Structure 1
Amino acid sequence: MRLFLLPISTRRTLIYCERIAQDPNAPRTIADRATSKVNETWISWERKEKGWQKTLTNWGNKVLRQIPFEEWGLKTIPSLTDKRKEMWLSGKSKMEVLYPGLYLESSKVPTILKALATERQALHRRKLYWSLIGLPITAPFALVPVIPNIPFFYLAFRAYSHWKALAGSKHLQFLIENKALRHSPSPALDQAYTAGLMYRTREISRNSPAPTREEAQRVAKLVQEQTNGGSEDVMLLQGWNGKLLAERFKLPEMEVEIERAVEQVEKSIKAKEELMEEKREIERAAEKAKREAKGTIKAK
C-alpha cells in the first residue's frame, strides 16, 4: 500500500492511496456487496438512451463532480483496523509516500499531509451526522410508485462518503502521529509532470522522448518563476495527463481522481482570476471618478 501526493497546482494537492488487491476467494462484506450492486445498477442506467434513469444518471454525475476532490482522495485511504494499527505500531513496516520532488518541496510534505489529515475532519463529521438525521425524514418518499426514493439514496451515499473520508483522514493522522510514513521523492513522477508541462497533448507526450533530469529541473524552475514568489497559483497537471500517470503506475482508478481534481482546481483558479479582474476594474473606475471630481473642483 502506497500513498501518492500529487500537486494539482502549486497550492492544491491530491492525496491518493494505492488500493490493496483483494483476494477473490475472500468473503465480501455487506458494504462491498452493496457498493458493487449500486455501481452495476448505475452503469446499466447510464447506458440507456433515454428515460428517467438516463436523466437521473446525467444529473447524478454532475453532482458527483461537485464533491471536493479532497474528499474523494481521503476515501481512497482504507479504515484503520486493529490489524493495520498493530502493523504500524510494530515499526516493522512504513507506508511509502511518493511525490514529485521537483514540483513539491520535501520540507512542505509533512505540513501538507497534516493538513489533509486534520482540516476536513470536523466538516465530514458534521455532514455525516446531518445526512444520518435526514435519512428517516426522506424514508416516506419510498411510497411514491415506480421512481426510487432518490433523496433517501442520495443522503445514504453522502453519509457513507463522509464516513469513508473521515475514516481515511483518521488513518492518515494515525500514520503521521506514529511516524509510520516514509517520504520518497519520485523521479518517475518528476518525469511524468514535466512531460505534461512540456507537451500539449497526450498523443504528443506518448510519442516524444521522456524528459531528461536537466529538462525536468529547468521546467520546474520556470513554474516556480510563474508563481511570482508564491503569490500566484499555477497549474501543474493537465486533465489528459491523468491517464498517463495512472498507466505509469498501473493504477487505472487514479485517472478519474486526477481528472476530477484538475477540473475543480482549474475552475477555482479561473474564478479567482475573474474576481481579481473585477476588483481591478472597480478600482480603476473609482480612481477615474476621483480624478474627475478633483478636476471639477479645480475648474470651479
Structure 2
Amino acid sequence: MRLFLLPISTRRTLIYCERVQEQLSGAKPPLQERVINKASQTWATWEKAEKGWQKQVTVYGNSLFKRIPYEEWGLKSIPPATKKRIEDINNGKIKFECLYPAAFIEEQKVPQILKALATERQALHRKNMWTSIAWMPITLPFTLVPVIPNLPFFYLVFRAWSHYKALYGSKLLEHLTTNNLIKTTDSKDMDELYAAGLLHPKREVARDTTRPTEDQIQQVAKVIEAQTNGGQEDVMLLQRWNGKLIAEGFHLPEMEIEIERAVEQVEKAIKSKEELEKEKAEVLQAAKSKTS
C-alpha cells in the first residue's frame, strides 16, 4: 500500500492511503464497504434531484461534511487495524511505502510527522465515537415522522463510523511507525507537482507547461522557507486547484477532494489566526495610545 504525506502548509500535513494491494486482489468487498458503497450511490442519486427533501438533505449534509477535519478524512483512508491485517503486515504480506516531497519536508522529520498523525487524535476519535453512539437512542422518536427517514439517527451512525475508521486507521499507522514498517521514499514527482503549483497561477498553465527543473524546485523551496520567517509563520504550499494536478499525476482521482478539503480548511485556519493577531495588535496599539 502507498501512503502519501501531503504538506498543505509548512505546519500542517495531510496523510492519504491508496490501497493498491487490496484493489488488485479482486476479492469481494466486506459487508461494511458494500453498505457504504450503497449509501454513497443513494447520496449521489439524491444530489441529482432538482428539488425536494432529498436535495435539501444533500445540501445541508455536504456543508456538514466540509466541517469534518481533514485529519479525520485522511486517517479514514488508512485501513483499520484488525488482528488479521496486523498479522499480515508483521509477516510481510502487506507492505507500506510512504511518498513525500523532499523539497518541502525534511527527510529526518518524516518519521515524527507520521508518528504525530498516528497518535495525536486517537483520544478525540475514541471519545467522539462513543458520544455519537450514546446519542443514538435519543433520536429514535424521529422514526415516527412519516416519509422522511430518521436523519439525526443516520447522521450519528455516520459520525460514529467515521470516528471508528479514523481511530483504527490511526492505530494501524501507529503500529507501522512504532515498528519501523514504512519505507519512506522522496518523490521527485511530488516535488515537481508542488513546485508547479507554486510557480503557476492556474491549473491549466501548470499542466501544459514543462515541469520545473531541480534548480527551480530548490529556488521555490528557498522562497517558501524565507516566507516562514524562521519557522514562525505558517505558509501555504498548495492551492485548491492543485489537488487535481497531484491526483492526476498519481492517477488517483479520489485524492483530489481530500486535498481540496484540506486546503480550504487550512486556508481558513491561517486567515483566522492572522485576523486574531491583527486584532490583538490593534488593541495593544490603542492601549498604548491612551497611556501616552
Bin for the TM-score computed over the shorter chain: over 0.9
1:166-205 aligned within 5 A: 166-205=167-206
Confirm or deny that 1:47 pairs with 2:27: no
The alignment partner of 1:234 has SS state of coil
Aligned to 1:19: 19
Q: Which residue identity lines up with residue 71 of structure 1 in the other structure?
A: E
1:82, distance to aligned residue in structure 2 (A): 3.5
The alignment partner of 1:252 has SS state of coil
Confirm or deny that 1:2 pairs with 2:38: no
Structure 2: distance between partners of 1:92 and 1:59: 42
1:29, distance to aligned residue in structure 2 (A): 2.4
User: Which segment drifts farther, 83-92 or 4-13?
Assistant: 83-92
Aligned to 2:58: 57
Instruction: Give the alignment's TM-score, normalised by structure 1.
Output: 0.94
Asked if the contact 1:195/1:210 (under 8 Å) is kept, the reply is yes
1:110-259 aligned within 5 A: 110-259=111-260
1:62, distance to aligned residue in structure 2 (A): 0.4
The alignment's C-alpha RMSD in Å is 1.4
Aligned length: 291
Return closer, same or farther for 1:3/1:89 CA change in 2, 3 Å cut-off: same
Structure 2: distance between partners of 1:93 and 1:166: 20
Return closer, same or farther for 1:86/1:269 CA change in 2, 3 Å cut-off: same
For residues 133-190 of structure 1, the C-alpha deviation after alignment (integer angstroms, 9 at most, x for no partner) is 1112212211110111111000000000000000100000000111101111111100
Structure 1: distance between partners of 2:95 and 2:150: 44
Structure 2: distance between partners of 1:159 and 1:94: 29
Aligned to 1:294: none
The alignment partner of 2:193 has SS state of helix
Q: Which residue identity lines up with residue 37 of structure 1 in the other structure?
A: K
Structure 2: distance between partners of 1:93 and 1:53: 41
Q: Which residue identity lines up with residue 126 of structure 1 in the other structure?
A: K
Percent identity reads: 58
Asked if the contact 1:93/1:180 (under 8 Å) is kept, the reply is no
Structure 1: distance between partners of 2:92 and 2:57: 48
The alignment partner of 1:9 has SS state of coil
Structure 1: distance between partners of 2:114 and 2:85: 19
Q: Which residue identity lines up with residue 14 of structure 1 in the other structure?
A: L
Q: Which residue identity lines up with residue 179 of structure 1 in the other structure?
A: N
Structure 2: distance between partners of 1:89 and 1:189: 29
Return closer, same or farther for 1:92/1:129 CA change in 2, 3 Å cut-off: closer
The alignment partner of 1:205 has SS state of helix
Q: Which residue identity lines up with residue 42 of structure 1 in the other structure?
A: W
Asked if the contact 1:138/1:152 (under 8 Å) is kept, the reply is yes
Q: Which residue identity lines up with residue 4 of structure 2 in the other structure?
A: F
Extract unaligned runs of 5+ from structure 2. none
Asked if the contact 1:91/1:180 (under 8 Å) is kept, the reply is no
1:27, distance to aligned residue in structure 2 (A): 3.1
Larger Rg: 1
The alignment partner of 1:14 has SS state of strand
Structure 2: distance between partners of 1:218 and 1:26: 46
Structure 2: distance between partners of 1:241 and 1:229: 26
1:88, distance to aligned residue in structure 2 (A): 2.6
Structure 1: distance between partners of 2:94 and 2:54: 47
